[in-house]
Structure 1
């Protein structure tokens, strides 16, 4: 049923839960498993070039740790995990990557927001659901 599975992982508890579900599905379907982390945060204030570069390096190191921890989880289940770290807008980058690489299934974590926040902005999960063309599993 699923041959290529992509999990989006920002390192949050909910994303790690989604990873564990994706690993389980990869085992069950003998599917390829890939992970995408998106670096999107830059300083919210006027910053020097040095400060921006320092912030980018911090994010790279953070997502490299996320990738290593994720590979350990996958290794425990005897699953090979390919990890990617890309810059960009989280929703747009995840949707584009899933489409360009022809994934059968995208697995994401759901992070709850208040009803007011969801009405005003929409959650990342709901914005991805509105845009992605492959099957989507949102892990609570």
Structure 2
């Protein structure tokens, strides 16, 4: 049924559950797995001398972190015998990057973690998963 599955990763424990689920689904369906980790853009300010980290150092650190997250998914997929392709992208809003990547890769299913925020906290903080659910046309499986 599913041939192309996308699982975003932020390196959190709950995301590892979504990764395990996505890998299991890919194995069952003979699907190709895709993974993405979204990097934060450099927080430019009006007074650049006040930045504690130079831009290139920030970019390098973001790439290192995102690449290590993607690498972990690639290794888990390889161990399970599932074909997987990983990418890192920079975006101000991770949910937009996830939806755009899902469209670019023409995926059949997104597998995402729910961070379990409720009540006022969820309302105030928002949720990347909730935003993906609200705006994405691709089916989304939420793992708790």
TM-score (ref. length: structure 1): 0.90
Per-residue deviation at 1:121?
4.0
Which residue is equivalent to 2:27? 27
- The CA distance in 2 between the partners of 1:52 and 1:110, in whole Å, is 32
Q: Give 5+ residue unaligned stretches, structure 1.
A: none
* 2:135 is aligned with 1:109: no
TM-score (ref. length: structure 2): 0.88
Written as runs of structure 1 = structure 2, the 5 A alignment for 1:7-86 is 7-43=7-43, 47-48=48-49, 51-86=54-89
Per-residue deviation at 1:100?
2.5
Contact 1:67 1:83 in 2 (8 A): yes
- The CA distance in 2 between the partners of 1:22 and 1:137, in whole Å, is 9
- Root-mean-square deviation (CA, aligned residues, Å) is 1.9
- The CA distance in 1 between the partners of 2:11 and 2:41, in whole Å, is 14
- The CA distance in 2 between the partners of 1:2 and 1:75, in whole Å, is 19
Q: Give 5+ residue unaligned stretches, structure 2.
A: none
1:119 to 110, 123, 126: 123
Answer with 35-44 or 8-17: which moved more. Answer: 35-44
Contact 1:106 1:137 in 2 (8 A): yes
Per-residue deviation at 1:62?
1.0
Give the 3-state SS of the residue equivalent to 2:95 in structure 1: helix
- The CA distance in 1 between the partners of 2:67 and 2:119, in whole Å, is 33
Give the 3-state SS of the residue equivalent to 2:110 in structure 1: strand
Q: 1:60 to 1:126 in 2, by over 3 A?
A: same
Per-residue deviation at 1:124?
1.1
Per-residue deviation at 1:43?
4.1
